[in-house]
């Protein structure tokens, strides 16, 4: 959704930067601020001897703990007990994409994920992460063995297919997120221009739902790719 980015015009010099860069940076600032507040509240609870006792009201600490718990359950559900070590990675993917998607629902802001540069960057980050995790888990030589396949003489066929499959993944992640968010916010913009009541509200709820689903899909696929990269270790031992 292409909103007039009025806040950029207010601050001198910001209009020289691409809109998606500014909004992606703003998302990062919001996430860092959220983490700092959650950490401060957790440290305060530990100092008071209440680290294991939830706050009696909704706080940033409570929201962070609920999110971390949900992310642990998701990663361990796919990767097993070892999945908890990757929670910071997948949690960062999910929160960044979700906030970036939802930003497009706020008048005056544009979602960074409606720019292919941002979504492709996320796809490359996922690609580098699962390959690095796979290599660290089983060593470079063993990791490369799965590109050959279960039978060595099939390598002439399997290696090109495996390479294509792996190099297409970051592009498919990027295109899926970019296409869905661009289309969703374009539809919202069209109906908002046509009428200002009732119908736009429905599409705002739909936009929020799509934003959540797309963040979840990207994160889940990244977890699956890590599972595939690590899982090949058992096949070759």
Q: What is the pLDDT of residues 108-133, one digit of tens each?
A: 778 899 899 999 999 999 999 999 99
- C-alpha distances (whole Å) from 202 to each of 1, 20, 117, 122, 143 are 16, 26, 29, 29, 48
State how far the Cα of 192 lies from the Cα of 186, in Å rounded to an integer. 10
- For residue 236, the model assigns a pLDDT of 42
Residue 142 — very low, low, confident or very high, per pLDDT cuts 50/70/90?
A: confident
Averaged pLDDT for residues 33-49:
86
The owner of tokens 């690590």 is 230
pTM score, two decimals? Answer: 0.85
């Amino acid at each position: 959704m292409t909103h007039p980015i009025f806040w950029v015009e207010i601050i001198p010099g910001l209009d020289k930067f691409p809109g998606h860069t500014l909004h992606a940076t703003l998302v990062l600032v919001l996430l860092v601020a959220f983490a700092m507040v959650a950490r401060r509240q957790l440290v305060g609870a530990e100092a008071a001897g209440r680290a294991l006792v939830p706050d009696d009201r909704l706080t940033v600490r409570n929201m962070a703990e609920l999110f971390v718990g949900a992310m642990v359950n998701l990663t361990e559900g796919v990767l097993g007990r070892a999945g908890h070590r990757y929670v910071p990675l997948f949690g960062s993917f999910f929160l960044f994409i979700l906030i970036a998607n939802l930003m497009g629902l706020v008048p005056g802001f544009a979602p960074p994920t409606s720019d292919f540069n941002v979504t492709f960057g996320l796809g490359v980050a996922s690609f580098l992460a699962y390959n690095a995790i796979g290599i660290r888990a089983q060593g470079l030589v063993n990791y490369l063995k799965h590109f050959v396949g279960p039978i060595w003489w099939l390598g002439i066929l399997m290696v090109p297919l495996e390479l294509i499959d792996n190099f297409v993944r970051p592009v498919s992640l990027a295109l899926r997120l970019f296409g869905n968010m661009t289309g969703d916010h374009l539809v919202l913009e069209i109906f908002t221009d046509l009428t200002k009541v009732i119908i736009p509200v429905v599409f705002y709820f739909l936009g929020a739902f799509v934003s959540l689903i797309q963040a979840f899909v990207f994160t889940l696929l990244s977890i699956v790719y890590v599972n595939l990269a690590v899982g090949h270790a058992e096949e070759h031992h």
